[in-house]
Amino acid sequence: MCNFDAVQQRWICAKPQLPMPIERTAVIRVNFLPAGRSIRTVRLALFALPLWIASPPVSGAQEIAAAVATAPPKPSWQRVEIAIPMDDQGIRAAGIATIHVEPDQGRADLSFPGTVTIPQHQLRIVAAPAGGLVETMLVAPDEPVTIGQPVAQVRSPELVEAQKNYLGALSDEALTSDKLRRAQLLFEGKALPERELRVAESESSSAKSRLDERMQILFLMGIDKDDFETLRTTHTIVSALVVKSPVNGTVVSRHASAGEQVKSAAPLYTFGELDPLWVNIQIPAPRLATIEVGASVMLPAYGIEGRIIRIGRTVDQSTQSAIAVAEVNASDGRLRPGLALTANVRIQNGDVAGASKNWSVPSSSVVRHRDQSWVFMRSAEGFRAKPVQVINESARSVAIRADLRSSDEVASRGVLALLSELVDADKED
């Protein structure tokens, strides 16, 4: 047992009679205020305090270890609290004041930078269907286009070669068809063996397949239906190929120029549909936990609303931020791809899942330590440093998420003294 001698200003501890060796060392921190001096913290190490702890049986220890291993990880704001013992005299001397926490009502808007982009599934690359010389490029960047509108003209030797091959296949198909009809007539008159008839049928079928192949190649090259009909009926070959737009949209970029020699499948244009658009919002890593898919997004400079459709799973190493993608309506044309803007993400603090854990405290109540936000909650022994998650900040208050009750009080003044105690207690741990 230990007593404090006020005259000698020290602790006097009677030596206990111990039946067994020392098992643990306990540390007691006592705050007192001698006359004419500031608050001091005295740490007393009390040796020879036997602590009798019964060891659980092996099976019980294994069950405890298994329970700890399988327990799901807690969020950072639900992890270990740190006790800071302090009596009323020490609290008054440090100038510490407390205030009741208040439920955070309504919603909060968090502002982040963003960039407007075109969704990938709304981009189309228009390529040269055959190699050749680009004669004309008929549309310019940012110009609107419609389905079927001519956008370029390419003079292509490959197109000429494909038409020649088609005409050859057409002649072969006509020849094999006549041969098959003649073989059928001779077979019916018993003047031709069946084997010869089957050979004629096979040759005719192969010729039809080659003709169909050559026709499909021409259509893949983008030959016009009228030009194809002219080729089939009059055997007139055209050397120029007209490239047409496959979508309604806008010319995003142009990849070739008139007079340029291009290969087959070389890109000529990029077309894009500009409604809806995406906004890539840059979210700092500490804020990711407060953003959810489906959250409302507001672009205040344009009066346009949207919603979060995807949140990135990776963080950029240089900026320590992730990309949240918001889809917005851009039918009025005011929002343009490539535009840098500010996006407000609306956080509904009063939702069912988190209504009892969102609280509003003064800005001075929240401190940072070990890359974590903390508040100091009043307790019977003094204070408890409690990890919290910051949802939103303003000049006067901070919205936090933590397991608190409306009757709880947190320190609102003199927080630096408590922060110093938190750092010391953390070093001891």
Res 37: pLDDT: 40
Q: Is the pLDDT of residue 34 over 60?
A: no
Q: Output the pTM of the full model.
A: 0.62
Q: What is the mean pLDDT of the chain?
A: 82
- CA–CA dist 96, 365 (Å, integer): 11
Stretch 336-365: mean pLDDT: 78
Least confident of 21-35, 74-88, 286-300: 21-35
Q: Is the pLDDT of residue 370 over 90?
A: no
Stretch 315-343: mean pLDDT: 93
Task: Locate 418 and state its tokens.
Answer: 């408590």
CB 344 within 8 A of CB 111: yes
Phi, psi of 366 (to 5 degrees): -105, 130
List where CATH 2.40.420.20 sits in the chain.
Answer: 79-108+352-428
- Which whole-number Å values give the CA distances from 410 to 82, 253, 363, in the listed order? 14, 58, 12
∠21-24-27 over CA atoms, to 5°?
135
List where CATH 2.40.30.170 sits in the chain.
Answer: 109-118+274-347
pLDDT tens column, 213-243: 999 999 988 888 888 999 999 999 999 999 9
Res 145: pLDDT: 96
Residue 387 vs residue 42, higher pLDDT: 387
CB 241 within 8 A of CB 297: no
- CA–CA dist 162, 265 (Å, integer): 16
| Beta-carbon contacts of residue 323 (< 8 Å; ≥ 6 apart) | 280, 281, 282, 283, 311, 312
Burial, 288: exposed, middle or buried (Cβ in 10 Å; 0-12, 13-18, 19+)? middle
CATH superfamily label, 109-118+274-347: Efflux pump adaptor protein, beta barrel domain (2.40.30.170)
81: confidence class by pLDDT, cuts 50, 70, 90? confident
pLDDT tens column, 182-212: 999 999 988 889 999 999 999 999 999 999 9
Least confident of 18-27, 100-109, 325-334: 18-27
Answer CATH for 79-108+352-428 from 2.40.420.20, 3.30.1200.10, 1.20.1250.20, 2.30.30.110: 2.40.420.20
pLDDT tens column, 157-174: 999 999 999 999 999 999
pLDDT exceeding 90 applies to what percent of the chain?
Answer: 58
CB 370 within 8 A of CB 426: yes
∠128-133-137 over CA atoms, to 5°?
65
In three-state secondary structure terms, 142 is coil
391: confidence class by pLDDT, cuts 50, 70, 90? confident
pLDDT tens column, 131-140: 999 999 999 9
End-to-end CA distance of the chain: 25
